[in-house]
Amino acid sequence: MPELPEVETVVRGLRRTILNQTIASVYINSPQIARAYFEGDLGAMKGRKFIDIRRRGKNILIDLDGGQTLWVHLKMTGHFYYLPKDAPIDKHDHLIFYFKKGKHSLHFNDYRRFGYMRLVPTSDLPHRRGLKELGPEPLEVKLPEFINLFRRAKRMIKPALLDQTFLAGLGNIYTDEALYLAKIHPRRLTGTLSDKKLAELHRIIQALLKKAISKTGTSVDTFAGVDGKPGGFQKYLKVYGREGEKCRTCGGAIRREKIGSRSSHFCPHCQRLR
């Protein structure tokens, strides 16, 4: 699933392509899919202009003039593609925006259909489930607040970092990578880490996410940016997807274990559970 760096890559791609564009028409591929996938009358966006594009956790928020926001979650296989106007329509393109100017259109494609698109009043966003309970942004949270998160909760660190109400935006890839870099076992209890260790983790998470964004995300699955290009961070992964391969620090084998409900990749030698 796209995580913070991948969603940020899409947001930046949308800003480069559709910001300030006015919608000439909205093509909805299948009314049945639209009923299950959309909330609100997405056809009513005709004539509106995209005035801002933001990210909150793994959510994409596209503001339109007139006080409405298109709220999109990509989940597993949601993609925005900015394509020439005459590009063929894929059967999994749920929606296409055509613009008043330029030679391109924006396709939204999701073949597994776990994502969603909701057109909601911008002023309602802070009260909506799925947004209101989100934890702080990992790239914005200051160290004292970050330390407090861990002091408040006594739980295993891996499921805590995956919990969007704890921190918003991390998923399986970046939690495994961050814990490896910080030499923290994924089963370690949050309340047992020293302030010094948490300061290190805080720095590591921010540096990791920034580097992944600079490489336009990780494509270990179908992830691609608005330009259709895959991310480039997969070649920097140290543990995720490397079960049985050599740890680049100690040479031991990377292990994969189910922790909470998700699989975790880690080095049992470098990430000891004390």
- Footprint on this chain of Zn ion (rule: CB under 5 A): 247, 249-250, 252, 267, 269-270
Nearest to 271 by CA among 153, 157, 144, 169: 157
| Nearest residue to Zn ion, by Cβ distance, number only | 247
User: 28 or 259, CB closer to Zn ion?
Assistant: 259
Q: Is 262 a catalytic residue?
A: yes
User: 149 or 253, CB closer to Zn ion?
Assistant: 253
Q: Is 229 a catalytic residue?
A: no
User: 128 or 255, CB closer to Zn ion?
Assistant: 255
The least CB distance from residue 173 to Zn ion, in Å, is: 18
The least CB distance from residue 247 to Zn ion, in Å, is: 3
The least CB distance from residue 243 to Zn ion, in Å, is: 13
Q: Is 129 a catalytic residue?
A: no
User: 136 or 268, CB closer to Zn ion?
Assistant: 268
Q: Which of 58, 118, 158, 188 is catalytic?
A: 58
* Cα–Cα dist 116/40, whole Å: 11
Q: Which two tokens stand for residue 148?
A: 């407090």
Three-state SS sequence of the chain? CCCHHHHHHHHHHHHHHCCCCEEEEEEECCHHHHHHHEECCHHHHCCCEEEEEEEECCEEEEEECCCEEEEEECCCCEEEEEEECCCCCCCCEEEEEEECCCCEEEEEEECCCCCEEEEEEHHHHHHCCCCCCCCCCCCCCCHHHHHHHHHHCCCEHHHHHHCCCCCCCCCHHHHHHHHHHCCCCCCCEHHHCCHHHHHHHHHHHHHHHHHHHHCCCCCCCCCCCCCCCCCCHHHHCCCCCCCCCECCCCCCECEEEEECCEEEEECCCCCCCC
User: 56 or 183, CB closer to Zn ion?
Assistant: 183
User: 61 or 267, CB closer to Zn ion?
Assistant: 267
The least CB distance from residue 237 to Zn ion, in Å, is: 14
The least CB distance from residue 241 to Zn ion, in Å, is: 16
Q: Which of 56, 155, 203, 262 is catalytic?
A: 262
Q: Which of 2, 5, 138, 159 is catalytic?
A: 2
Q: Which two tokens stand for residue 33?
A: 């899919």
Amino acid at 112: R
The least CB distance from residue 269 to Zn ion, in Å, is: 4
* Cα–Cα dist 38/76, whole Å: 16
Active site residues: 2-3, 58, 262
